[in-house]
């Protein structure tokens, strides 16, 4: 298991001038540790707030499953427990079994051998099968008195079932050391589950502030129990280029040198990127790399003078403005650049999507925008990939089934019109409404980190929307899922990223996975309270929002 990285006060103090004032107010750790205000909901009745409640199965499983039956009794694991993959397991089933055994070994201190057929009491059985209705990601989980069986048609379904099993276990299972004296029991339940939407994503901006491979892996690990399956990595923006491109080496070595505020940046070598993608894949998460264009390209333009219309390289940019840079539609070298860069990115990426961004090209004419987006899309098609972009790509000539990620706010007419155009042109929409799903928005007006241009987004607001009805005129059949971006202009490291993401990312995951009929704020806030001790044990930083009764479960 991956050791968590913590940021020291010293590292935090070294961040950008932009942050200097806000950091003087409080360190991320101090902010996270602020005592929560009295719970506004989901609390134990007054007089009992100090006593710890035992969460019910329904409170433990997040995202809420499609169906859950509870029965009397529990199943206890012990030193003789095994993971049983049956007599003729598929390789992919073995992968899930190894992940589970690995995950359980440290906290329980048991061996958890992966075996082919067993009668041992307290065993976890992983089995391929179940009704077609489970689809490619669904699973069934049945806790008996001697064993728990997880059944799915795919290894991804099994993996999601394993996450549910994990959430049924005591919080200490999330820890990175042996939890002596814990009784490893799970309640007897029967779960049948599958997601509402096929795309449930998180996006991390490593361009504005660079995050190391280990930090990104930590974020991926924190996505896993939420059953998220897509991870967009924002690899290039005005402030930095974060992926080695062999045919254009200065992009990374020069364009990646800095980050917002002028501090030292960084980039991933191709080997490191491939390793990250494989790490995510082993956790059934598909990486969507994003190379933002034709705007948001100052890092590239400053690395190669010939990419500029006037042939002059601008200085590196370390501020936070947007919309001032553009690739040059009239130069042949632009198309060679697109072909080389997107060709290399596509070759390194096993997933079917590559994002070309396409947002805020305020310094590009519509004709030039269309020409360059179309060229980028053509390169991706040649490499067998589909285009993923922000909803502005609808104004070009997007292919059917390409993805338009909608990041408009409630009532923003131009964005709504583009989302409707996207649906008309056959794009699939992934909903990332900035006033609900942008995890870089402040939780409250005085919050140290984050921005508020779209809205101030308390935990309850991040949960108060429905992808199916978000944009009038976009039929629910055009909606492929949800996306929760973290932009890092104000976030220097993974600790602050986590502070903004958790708990709100859990709500976006639930909106993407759970049936709409289960959507309900009060029980959701209780589900979050259950996650608190688990995030603590795992070392995931999170904001103790006063909307949640964090002390209820430990």
Active centre residues (catalytic): 360
Closest separation in Å from C-beta 315 to ligand NGO: 19
Give the separation between CA 21 and CA 17, rounded to whole angstroms. Answer: 8
Closest separation in Å from C-beta 196 to ligand NGO: 24
Task: Give me the long-range contacts of 177-183 (CB less than 8 A, separation at least 24).
Answer: 177/106, 177/107, 178/106, 178/107, 178/108, 178/109, 179/107, 179/108, 180/109, 182/107, 182/108, 183/76
Which of positions 376-395 make contact with ligand NGO (CB under 6 A)? 390
Task: Provide the 3-class DSSP secondary structure of residue 514.
Answer: coil
Closest separation in Å from C-beta 208 to ligand NGO: 7
User: What secondary structure letter does DSSP report for 2?
Assistant: P
For ligand NGO, give the closer residue by CB, 455 or 548. Answer: 455
Q: Is 547 in the site for ligand NGO (CB under 6 A)?
A: no
Which of positions 8-47 make contact with ligand NGO (CB under 6 A)? none
Which of positions 63-82 make contact with ligand NGO (CB under 6 A)? none
Q: Is 290 in the site for ligand NGO (CB under 6 A)?
A: no
Kind of pairing, strands 240-241 and 230-237?
antiparallel
Closest separation in Å from C-beta 147 to ligand NGO: 47
Residue carrying the six token digits 């993608």 = 277
Q: Is 399 in the site for ligand NGO (CB under 6 A)?
A: no
Tokens found for residue 468: 């199916």
For ligand NGO, give the closer residue by CB, 353 or 438. Answer: 438
For ligand NGO, give the closer residue by CB, 134 or 258. Answer: 258
Give the separation between CA 329 and CA 295, rounded to whole angstroms. Answer: 11
Q: What are phi and psi of 306, to 5 degrees?
A: -65, -15
Closest separation in Å from C-beta 322 to ligand NGO: 5
Q: How far is CA 551 from the centre of its chain?
A: 26
Kindly write down the DSSP assignment for every residue of 89-116, as one continuous string. Answer: --HHHHHHHHHHHHHHHHHH-----EES
For ligand NGO, give the closer residue by CB, 276 or 500. Answer: 500
Which of positions 205-224 make contact with ligand NGO (CB under 6 A)? none
Residue carrying the six token digits 């976009």 = 474
For ligand NGO, give the closer residue by CB, 291 or 548. Answer: 291
| Alpha helices for 361-408 (secondary structure H) | 366-382
Q: Is 487 in the site for ligand NGO (CB under 6 A)?
A: yes
Closest separation in Å from C-beta 488 to ligand NGO: 8
Closest separation in Å from C-beta 463 to ligand NGO: 19
Q: Is 407 in the site for ligand NGO (CB under 6 A)?
A: yes
For ligand NGO, give the closer residue by CB, 89 or 357. Answer: 357
* Closest residue by Cα to residue 537 from 164, 254, 166, 64: 166
Give the separation between CA 540 and CA 176, rounded to whole angstroms. Answer: 12
For ligand NGO, give the closer residue by CB, 184 or 487. Answer: 487
- Give yes or no for a contact between 280 and 229, defined as CB atoms under 8 angstroms apart: no
Tokens found for residue 439: 């995890």
Which of positions 171-200 make contact with ligand NGO (CB under 6 A)? none
Tokens found for residue 31: 């902010």
* Chain residue at closest Cβ approach to ligand NGO: 487
Closest separation in Å from C-beta 434 to ligand NGO: 6
Which of positions 425-454 make contact with ligand NGO (CB under 6 A)? 438, 440, 451
Angle at 487 between CA 522 and CA 266, to 5 degrees: 140
Q: Which of 44, 115, 274, 322 binds ligand NGO (CB under 6 A)?
A: 322
Task: Provide the 3-class DSSP secondary structure of residue 147.
Answer: strand
Name 258's bridge partners.
264
Q: Is 412 in the site for ligand NGO (CB under 6 A)?
A: no
Closest separation in Å from C-beta 388 to ligand NGO: 12
For ligand NGO, give the closer residue by CB, 220 or 361. Answer: 361
Q: Which of 151, 232, 259, 359 binds ligand NGO (CB under 6 A)?
A: 359
- Give yes or no for a contact between 207 and 237, defined as CB atoms under 8 angstroms apart: yes
Residue count at the site for ligand NGO (CB under 6 A)?
Answer: 10
Which of positions 129-168 make contact with ligand NGO (CB under 6 A)? none
- Give yes or no for a contact between 212 and 266, defined as CB atoms under 8 angstroms apart: yes
- Give yes or no for a contact between 288 and 351, defined as CB atoms under 8 angstroms apart: yes
Q: Is 268 in the site for ligand NGO (CB under 6 A)?
A: no
The residues of the shown chain that bind ligand NGO, judged by CB under 6 A, are: 322, 359-360, 390, 407, 438, 440, 451, 487, 489
């Amino acid at each position: 298991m991956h050791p968590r990285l913590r940021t020291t006060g010293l590292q935090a103090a070294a961040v950008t001038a932009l942050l200097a004032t806000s950091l003087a107010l409080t360190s991320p750790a101090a902010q996270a540790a602020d005592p929560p205000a009295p719970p506004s909901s989901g609390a134990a009745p007054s007089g009992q707030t100090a006593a710890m409640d035992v969460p019910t199965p329904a409170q433990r499983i997040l995202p809420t499953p499609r169906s859950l039956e509870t029965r009397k009794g529990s199943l206890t694991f012990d030193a003789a427990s095994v993971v049983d993959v049956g007599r003729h397991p598929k390789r992919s089933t073995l992968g899930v079994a190894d992940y589970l055994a690995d995950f359980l070994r440290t906290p329980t201190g048991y061996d958890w051998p992966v075996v082919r057929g067993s009668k041992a009491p307290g065993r976890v059985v992983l089995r391929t099968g179940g009704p077609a209705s489970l689809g490619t990601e669904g699973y069934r989980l049945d806790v008996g008195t001697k064993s728990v069986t997880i059944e799915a048609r795919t290894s991804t379904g099994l993996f999601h079932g394993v996450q549910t099993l994990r959430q049924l276990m005591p919080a200490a299972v999330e820890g990175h050391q042996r939890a002596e004296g814990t009784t490893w029991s799970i309640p007897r339940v029967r779960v049948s589950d599958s997601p509402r939407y096929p795309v449930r994503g998180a996006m991390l901006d490593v361009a504005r502030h660079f995050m190391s491979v280990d930090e990104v892996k930590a974020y991926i690990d924190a996505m896993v129990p939420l059953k998220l399956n897509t991870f967009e990595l924002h690899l290039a923006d005005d402030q930095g280029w974060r992926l080695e491109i062999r045919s254009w080496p200065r992009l990374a070595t020069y364009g990646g040198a800095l980050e917002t505020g002028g501090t030292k940046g960084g980039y991933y070598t191709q080997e490191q990127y491939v390793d990250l993608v494989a790490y995510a894949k082993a956790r059934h998460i598909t990486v969507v790399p994003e190379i933002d264009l034709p705007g948001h390209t100052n890092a590239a333009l400053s690395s190669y003078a010939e990419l500029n219309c006037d042939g002059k390289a601008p200085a590196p940019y370390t501020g936070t403005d947007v919309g001032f840079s553009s690739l040059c539609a009239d130069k042949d070298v632009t198309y060679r650049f697109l072909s080389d860069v997107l060709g290399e990115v596509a070759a390194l990426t096993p997933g079917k999507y590559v994002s070309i961004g396409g947002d805020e090209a305020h310094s590009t004419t519509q004709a030039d925008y269309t020409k360059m987006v179309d060229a980028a899309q053509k390169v991706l098609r040649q490499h067998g990939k589909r285009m993923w972009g922000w909803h502005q790509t609808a104004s070009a000539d997007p292919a059917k089934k390409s993805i338009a990620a909608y990041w408009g706010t409630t009532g923003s007419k131009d964005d709504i019109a583009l989302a409707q155009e996207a649906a008309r042109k056959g794009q699939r929409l992934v909903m990332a409404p900035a006033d609900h799903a942008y995890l870089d928005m402040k939780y409250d007006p005085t919050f140290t980190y984050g921005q508020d241009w779209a809205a101030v987004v308390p935990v309850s607001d991040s949960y108060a929307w429905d992808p199916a009805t978000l944009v009038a005129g976009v039929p629910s059949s055009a909606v492929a899922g949800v996306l929760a971006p973290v932009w890092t202009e104000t976030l220097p490291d993974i600790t602050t990223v986590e502070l903004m993401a958790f708990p709100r990312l859990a709500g976006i995951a639930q909106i993407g996975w759970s049936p709409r009929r289960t959507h309900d704020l009060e029980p959701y806030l209780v589900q979050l309270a259950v996650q608190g001790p688990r995030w603590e044990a795992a070392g995931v930083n999170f904001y103790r929002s006063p909307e949640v009764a964090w002390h209820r479960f430990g």
